[in-house]
Amino acid sequence: MLNYILCFVLFLVGLYGVLTRKNIIKIIIGLCIMEYSLNLFFIMIGYIKGGVAPIVDLSSSQNVKYVDPLPQAIVLTAIVIGLATTALLLAIAIKLYKKYKTFDIDKINNLKG
């Protein structure tokens, strides 16, 4: 149970970073931490103690335990989606830096009301 709680704590650490940091790059890192904690969570859901990789081997004995392969497939997809989001965020961050000459979120405040 402890590992699930730690995973949730990692999620909250990321959320705290996104909500409190002023630097754009640190906000992006916070989002990445949140995403990694979820990937970790998915892998832990699929894990069975003593389980092996889910490749069926007919020659071995029948009572082999396999880990759940579906969360692994999901994590692969989630990593790719996370890559796209992070790449776009960083591209926008570079453009913002070129326009405003700062990474401070408090100084980037044209839009109000």
Partner 1 sequence: MDSLIPLFVIIPLGIAFLIPLIWKLIPSVFKYLPATGILFLLVLAFYILIANGNETLIYKVGGWEPVKNVPIGIHLVVDGLAASMLIIINLIGFLAGIYAIPYMKKFTGENYFFVLFSLMVAGMNGVVITGDLFNMFVFLEISVISSYALVAFGSSKDELEASFKYQVLGGIASLLILFALAITYWYTSTLNMSDISHLLKQAPVNKVTIFIQLFLIAGFGLKAALIPFHAWLPDAHSSAPSPISAMLSGVLIKAIGIYALLRLFFNMFRVTYEISIIITLIGVLSMVIGVILAIGQWDMKRLFAYHSISQMGYVIMAAGIAMIILAKGGNRNIAILSLTGGLFHMFNHSVFKGLLFLNAGSVEYATGTRNLKDLGGLSEVLPVTSATSLGASLSISGIPPFNGFFSKLIIIIAAIEGRFYFLALLAVIVSIITLASFMKVQRYAFLDKLKKGGSNIKEVPFLMCFSMIILVILCLVMSLMAIPGIRETFLMPAVNSLISLKM
**Count of CB atoms situated within 10 Å of the CB of 80:** 9
Contacts of 40 (CB under 8 A, 6+ apart): 7, 10
If one asks whether residue 58 binds partner 1 (CB under 8 A), the answer comes out as no
If one asks whether residue 93 binds partner 1 (CB under 8 A), the answer comes out as yes
If one asks whether residue 42 binds partner 1 (CB under 8 A), the answer comes out as yes
Return the amino acid letter for 20.
T
If one asks whether residue 50 binds partner 1 (CB under 8 A), the answer comes out as no
Q: Which residues of 5-43 are buried (b: 16+ CB within 10 A; e: fewer)?
A: eebeebbeebeebeeeeeebeebbbbbbbbbbbbbbbbb
Q: Which residue has tokens 């405003």?
A: 100
Site for partner 1 in 4-33 (CB under 8 A): 11, 15, 18, 24, 27, 31
User: Of 47, 72, 74, 103, which lies in the binding site for partner 1, with binding defined by CB under 8 A?
Assistant: 74
Choice between 62 and 110, CB closer to partner 1: 110
Instruction: Report the interface residues with partner 1, using CB under 8 A.
Output: 11, 15, 18, 24, 27, 31, 34-35, 38, 41-42, 45, 70-71, 74, 77-78, 81, 84-85, 88-89, 92-93, 95-96, 99-100, 108-111, 113
